[in-house]
Amino acid sequence: MSDYVIKTQDLTKLYAGDKGCREITLQVPRGVVYGFLGPNGAGKSTFVRTLLGLIRPTSGTASVLEHPISSVASRQQVGYLPELFRYPDWMTGIQLLKFHADLCKVPHTEQKARIHHLLERVGLHQRGEEKIRGYSKGMQQRIGLACALISDPALVFLDEPTSALDPIGRKEVRELISDLRAEGKTVFLNSHLLSEVENVCDHVAIINKGRLVVQGDWRELRTVQAQVEVTISDVEDEWWASLSDLVTGWKRLSSWDGKSAWLLTLSEASQIPALVSTLTSRQIDVYQVTPKQQNLEELFMYWINKKEGAEHVDNR
């Protein structure tokens, strides 16, 4: 069994007008929550729809669960919640789930228990008998989640799964995603809601203007730019230039009583001890040193800005 549930090589889907996604090469490890991030119009849904065989790639290759994406086998253990979900509103929630269970060939003997369990899991256990016509948008998204999970898939694609949900619903979906990971499933999560993704993802890929900007373990990626907040006896802004081998950027945060607080960017996080000993050796009093953890939004902006100079096709 391969360690990767999705592998793509230069996967490209271009619509008329050259929009879409271009030359995307990535690997999604088994059993992780993989955040696929990018601004509106970056190409996230296009990439997912190509992987699912809903649209044909212009070029490149890809496999899902070790089967080429052109094959039916690649979709047999996959669940999908589309971004723009719409379900037959004359069906009840239970009828919709039964319909999907039949499509996915879930054995009849298992269907009732599974539907009951899923309705509970998405918080619709008392509403399953009602017609979808009477569901709120958030409830429709919840029933869509249940549909995505009806076949007990090994890999689930969730395209903006919380877009219609209130804060409580978002938290419940985050918990559901964590439970899926605990069960050994892989979740491929499309989103531009970075604070949402931050709490659940192990790996992230960032896509911008149709191209992959960066991918990897989120905890490793977040250390790319080592930043530290220090409080020291006051120095002039220009003074930091004398430490340019250690400090590549500085920003004064505040000053008071002969002290100042700074946000410093170091060339590497491992240089924090060297920074402290250099400050001390230069007779600067050090009152506080706090490594700054970057959040996903800062990481996202860092990578997007870093690659902004590269050749891109504007996807908007």
Give residues in contact with ligand ATP (CB under 6 A): 15, 19-20, 38, 40-46, 83, 192, 315-316
Q: How near is the Cβ of 224 to ligand ATP at its closest, in Å?
A: 23
Look-up of token digits 């009828």: 95
Q: How near is the Cβ of 83 to ligand ATP at its closest, in Å?
A: 6
Q: How near is the Cβ of 312 to ligand ATP at its closest, in Å?
A: 12
Q: Which is nearer to ligand ATP, 98 or 209 (CB)?
A: 209
Q: Which is nearer to ligand ATP, 214 or 261 (CB)?
A: 214
User: What does residue 188 show for φ and ψ, rounded to 5 degrees?
Assistant: -105, 110
CA distance 128 to 96: 9
Q: Which is nearer to ligand ATP, 227 or 315 (CB)?
A: 315
Q: Which is nearer to ligand ATP, 132 or 205 (CB)?
A: 205
C-beta separation of 216 from 206 below 8 A: no
Q: What order of strands is seen across the sheet that includes strand 286-292?
A: 247-256, 259-266, 226-233, 286-292
C-beta separation of 207 from 47 below 8 A: yes
Measured in Å, how far apart are the chain's first and last C-alpha atoms?
39
C-beta separation of 6 from 175 below 8 A: no
Q: How near is the Cβ of 47 to ligand ATP at its closest, in Å?
A: 7
Q: How near is the Cβ of 40 to ligand ATP at its closest, in Å?
A: 3
Q: How near is the Cβ of 187 to ligand ATP at its closest, in Å?
A: 17
CA distance 288 to 214: 33
Q: How near is the Cβ of 124 to ligand ATP at its closest, in Å?
A: 25
- The helix/strand/coil state of 218 is helix
For 23, the token pair is: 């030359």
Q: How near is the Cβ of 144 to ligand ATP at its closest, in Å?
A: 16
- The helix/strand/coil state of 17 is coil
Q: Which is nearer to ligand ATP, 20 or 53 (CB)?
A: 20
Dihedral angle at the C-alpha atoms of 101, 107, 113, 119, nearest 10 degrees? -10
The one-character DSSP state at 133 is G
CA distance 56 to 148: 22
C-beta separation of 110 from 66 below 8 A: no
Q: Which is nearer to ligand ATP, 193 or 289 (CB)?
A: 193
Amino acid identity of 218?
W
Look-up of token digits 């997912």: 48
Q: Which is nearer to ligand ATP, 83 or 152 (CB)?
A: 83
CA distance 152 to 146: 10
Q: Which is nearer to ligand ATP, 46 or 225 (CB)?
A: 46
